[in-house]
Amino acid sequence: MRPATRAVRAAALGLVLVAVAVLLAACTPTGGPPPQPTPPGTARPAPSPSPSRPTATFTVWHWNVAGGSGYGISPQAGDAMGAGRVRTVVNSISSPAQGNDLASVNEMCLSQYQAVRRGLAERGWPHDPGGSFSRWTELDGSGSRCGGEPVGNAIFSRYPLAPGAEVFRLPAAPAGSPDAATDPYARSLTCVTPRPYPSVRFCVTHITFLASSAAYGKQAQLDDVRETLDRYVRAGVTPIVAGDFNTGANFRELDGWYTPEAGRRTATRADGSRVATNPGNTGHYVELGDDDATGCRGYGQGTSDTYRDNGPCGTGVRIDLVFVPADRVRGEYWSSTYGPESVNCTLAEVPRAPACSDHRVVRGRVTLAL
């Protein structure tokens, strides 16, 4: 080999070695020790969305309409209470002034659901003509609650929905047991996907009032729902869940839901005293009413006047809730409630008729990272 050739090859080899050294330096962590692997058995936290991730704003509407239990049955049968309830739901959900995007209803008789669906379609829901925009999940098919009809939970969406729904059955009392007779509902979590937002799941649930069993009572069902939402979050999905949780916002059963920040908020009671409204929280979900500066801050406005608890501010218990993952929230969020009387649900055509429901409508707005 000639000397000139050897010199060229040596120079080329030197350049290769310099390039390798530069690459190794770039791959070596600086500013501290290299990251350590997660110990076995330790769950990795879900990654927080990037601030540059796309966002969308949703207005959510929820009501436990109490469709059975003597509150009116079938609009097809000419029942004035049932027809009045349908009219109320259609008018409220589709109100242009409210701008609702996603709506859910607890305890709705099947014919009421069908009538609401027709009414919303006549009002232009969904915005994509011909799109599927509602779902109904049966709670009780015995007919004992709705004059022979099944009763269930409903979802309505201003956006067309992707086909199908994910229905997760919650722990239930053994068939034939006294608890099963006390609460015969087949409790569930039903989730749908708005077609324009494939990474969003809108869900409705209705938690049992039973607290007697660790296997199927209130805590077991709440944990089951939260674990399903956690799986969504870990998969990069943004869930929104609304429903009658049959649990006061500050009850210990929800400590694993609310963020510690909600627990640090205080409010002023009617007597002028300050109260920590929702302490002891360890979770990572935001409830859209938990930062209500005009009411019971950390807790929210009451949603039921008939529950055994009157809330930490004495303004009513909040058991109808809307949760979203805290790390997906962008900017401010809010929630308000209003009674059936404000949506013409006292039904003047029925003398001395009770209000349509013993729950208040819950409405909230939030911007979420998708």
Structure confidence at residue 11 (pLDDT) = 44
Asked if residue 270 is part of any domain, the answer here is no
Q: Are 225 and 189 in contact (CB under 8 A)?
A: yes
Asked if residue 235 is part of any domain, the answer here is yes
161 pLDDT higher than 80: yes
Asked if residue 50 is part of any domain, the answer here is no
Asked if residue 346 is part of any domain, the answer here is yes
d(CA 279, CA 47): 26
12 pLDDT higher than 50: no
Asked if residue 18 is part of any domain, the answer here is no
Asked if residue 260 is part of any domain, the answer here is no
3-class SS letters over 193-255: CECCCCCEEEEEEECCCCCCCCCCCHHHHHHHHHHHHHHHHHCCCEEEEEEECCCCCCCHHHC
Q: Are 360 and 320 in contact (CB under 8 A)?
A: yes
Backbone φ and ψ for 12, nearest 5 degrees, come out as -65, -40
Range of the domain at 77: 55-247+319-369
* Position 83 confidence tier, pLDDT thresholds 50, 70, 90: confident
SS3 state at 321: strand
Count H helices, E strands: the chain?
Answer: 6, 14
Structure confidence at residue 31 (pLDDT) = 36
Asked if residue 339 is part of any domain, the answer here is yes
Q: Are 151 and 139 in contact (CB under 8 A)?
A: yes
The answer, yes or no, to whether the previous bond of 126 is cis (omega within 30 of 0) is yes
- Compute how many other C-beta atoms are within 10 angstroms of the C-beta atom of residue 287: 28
24 pLDDT higher than 90: no
Asked if residue 93 is part of any domain, the answer here is yes
Q: Domains in the chain: how many in total?
A: 1
Q: What is the CATH number of the domain that holds 148?
A: 3.60.10.10
